[in-house]
Structure 1
Amino acid sequence: MVRVAVAGGARGIGLDIVQAILDTKKHELTVLSRTDQPLLTSKGIDVRVVDYSSVQQLKDALAGAHTVISCLAAYGSDTAAAELALLEAAKQAGTARFVPSEWNSACNDVVDLYSGKETVWKTVQSSRLEYTRFTNGLWMNVWGPGCLRDEEEALGPYKCRPPFCIDVGAGTALIPGDGSQRIVVTRTQDVGRFVAAALELPRWEAESRIAGDIVTFNEVVQLVKGICGKDLNITMLSVKDLEGILNGDNLDVGERFYYQLLLSIALGRTDFEPTLNSFCPHVKPLSVADYFRRHWKSD
């Protein structure tokens, strides 16, 4: 048993990771948060309110922690600065392991708002701490908005957001590329379970790649038809189409982020071979087909 500190563990994918670690009953948990979290405190979790601009405050909050897992918000220079402060505090506090906030794919050079992640990653690599970064592909939860059953579970941390690429409810699909590109898709709840399992590994690889399922968008379209009984109205955007959109000057930050994510998928950045699945064979992630059966199939 070790003490695990999760920065940003009160919401988003951090909350799924916290719950998965809690479910193992094997580790002590600290959650770093900018505000009090009475719901987590009621579960026996040690919540420490921190200012991410203060290395000293973060160092004090990490006292006794063996592993630090960052789930800080993914976007912008402020997040990178907070993560770098967290990393420095982890070093000063004498922690052994550090996980930077990634939770996506190898697209930091394509997506502007992820550029700070690369700065953090390079600093982590020179930190002399044991480290890994978790890569999990596209969140399966992005296909949950408007589902027929158990929407809270279907969405996980993907709440109050529109469907991404596949909108089952509206019967539409916006597909980057020609639909034949493989993509890794993983439920955030399963990401949490893999992270919790990885805490037991005696040694970490630099890259911990997770795959809930590996499919193509063409296969997903057929799954929606076969399981949900819906024919999707499909629009395809090639790499050239996406580059043309991104070369325009009329996109706001959110639109640019969206089309850059689509471009990264079309370029194959969400296609990789998993590594952590074989190290943690007892973790059985949900497939895309089972996700649609669980949340979208009408009885």
Structure 2
Amino acid sequence: MVRVAVAGGSGQVSREVIDVLIESKKHSLTILSRKEAPTTAIVPEINWQIVDYNDKEGLVEALQGIHTLLSFVQILSDPDQKSQKNLIDAAISAGVKRFAPSEYGSKGTVDMAWWHGKEKIREYLKEVNVKGNILEYTLFQPGLFLDYLAFPYKTAKHVDPLQSVFDFENRRAIVVDGHEDAIMTLTTVADLATVVARAVDYDGRWPTTGGIRGNRLTFSQILEIGRRVRGHSFTIDKVIVEDLEAGNLKTSWSLEAVHRAVSEDQASALLKMVSIGILLSSSKGAWDSSDELNQLFPDYKFTPIEEFLAKAWEGKL
């Protein structure tokens, strides 16, 4: 048993991980949050602490005795990533052994400006460790949540459905012309949470990159699975790289459902940016996650994409 702290513990992905950690009954759990504890019952094993990420001394105090720190701090709301940098500094001062920054997505961030904050933290972690292994860390990278291909249906306990360029509901997709073989890694939210919990249990040293490869497929393979699962071929909107790089998305449809962390006035521009970014970045290998944690836990059986989607879409028009 080790003491685990979860920063940003009221977020959707963090709550999925917290549930698995609680269920394992292996660790003492502290939730760090800017918010008050929820009014719903909190299990006795959880210690809820309200923190100010600008207060380094307060963070050091909150992290005393913590072995592993998992960060789910919101990237979008902190362009300079001061919160996570302060968290890293405090973790080092408090003697925390292991840290996982707020990742939980693609391997690369090329053409995805909304995730460039991840690069700042990756560089910062390299800087603090330049003179030795000051803080052990890993980057949990499961690719795109497979659950999003079930939109608008919810398939995870806490993570809300989100649209993607693969619209299984309306049997349509957006593909970059000439890049139909671009790779996407798709991992269920449940598999991510279980693997993160296993990594917390793991006694050995974490790999710096924690690639999690639930399913690795090309765009064409995903669409073929879509045809089988949904019983009809998908309508494909093909876009060209030059248009995307110019900021133009020439399609017959667009994303409409935005993450709850995004304000309404930002939603339209961000949805267009996300579509363009995912399409461009996928053509450059950003979503082809590595498999370090698959190798670390070779006995773990990931949820196959076709099995998951067949269940999610069974009986739905």
Q: TM-score, normalised by structure 1?
A: 0.89
Tell me the alpha carbon deviations over residues 76-106 of structure 1, each in whole angstroms, 9 at most, x when there is no partner: 5447111011111111111111111111123
Aligned residue in 2 for 1:131 = 137
- CA distance in 1 between counterparts of 2:158 and 2:170 reads 21
What displacement does 1:253 show?
A: 4.0
What are the superposed Cα offsets for residues 207-226 of structure 1, whole Å, 9 maximum, x if unpaired? 11101101112111111221
Alignment check: 8 A CA contact 1:239 1:267 kept: no
SS across alignment from 2:238: strand
Q: Aligned pair count?
A: 291
Q: Does 1:186 align with 2:187?
A: yes
Q: Which moved more, 1:25-34 or 1:111-120?
A: 111-120
Question: Per-residue deviation at 1:295?
Answer: 0.6
- Secondary structure of 2:90's aligned partner: helix
Q: Report which stretch shifted further, 26-35 or 226-235.
A: 226-235
**What are the superposed Cα offsets for residues 8-31 of structure 1, whole Å, 9 maximum, x if unpaired?**
122221111111222222111111
The equivalent residue for 2:92 is 91
In the superposition, relative to structure 1, how do residues 244 and 179 fare at CA in structure 2: closer, same or farther (>3 Å)? Answer: same
Distance 1:176 1:69, change over 3 A: farther
Judged with a 3 Å threshold, the aligned counterparts in structure 2 of structure 1 residues 272 and 44 are, in CA distance, closer, same or farther, namely closer
**1:240 alignment partner, one of 236, 239, 242:** 242
| Contact 1:99–1:131 (8 Å) recurs in 2 | yes
Q: 1:297 to 1:228 in 2, by over 3 A?
A: farther
Alignment partners' CA distance in 2, 1:238 and 1:22: 47
Call closer, same or farther: CA 1:184–1:201 in 2, change over 3 Å: farther
- Match of 2:278? 261
- Counterpart of 2:229 (choices 227, 230, 250) is 227
Which of these residues, 298, 308, 316, is aligned with residue 291 of structure 1? 308
- 2:165 corresponds in structure 1 to 165
* Distance in 2 of aligned mates of 1:203 and 1:298: 45
2:293 matched to which residue of 1? 276
Aligned partner of residue 114 in structure 1, secondary structure? helix
Contact 2:73 2:84 in 1 (8 A): yes
Say whether the 8 Å CA contact 2:229–2:309 is kept in structure 1. Answer: yes
Residues in 2 aligned to 1:129 and 1:291: alpha-carbon distance in whole angstroms? 37
Letter in 1 for 2:275: Y
Match of 1:245, SS? coil
| Counterpart-to-counterpart distance in 2, 1:196 and 1:79 | 29
- The equivalent residue for 1:146 is 152
Alignment of 1:175 with 2:192, yes or no, is no
Check whether the contact 1:225–1:231 (CA below 8 A) recurs between aligned residues.
yes
The unaligned stretches of length 5 or more in structure 1 are none
State the distance in 2 between where 1:122 and 1:198 align: 22
CA distance in 2, matches of 1:207, 1:40: 36
Looking at structure 1, the residues matched to 299 and 80 of structure 2 have their Cα atoms a distance apart, in angstroms, of: 34
Does residue 22 in structure 1 map to residue 22 in structure 2?
A: yes
Is the deviation greater in 233-242 or in 52-61?
233-242
Residue identity in the other structure for 1:136: P
What is the deviation of 1:116?
2.0
Structure 1's 276 and 40: CA in aligned 2 closer, same or farther, altered over 3 A? Answer: farther
Q: What's the TM-score, normalizing by structure 2?
A: 0.84
The farther-off stretch of 64-73 and 226-235 is 226-235
Distance 1:193 1:246 in 2: 39
Q: Which residue of 1 aligns with 2:208?
A: 206
One-letter identity of the residue aligned with 1:58: L
Runs of 4+ in 1 over 3 A off after TM superposition: 76-79
Separation in 1 of the partners of 2:199 and 2:172? 37
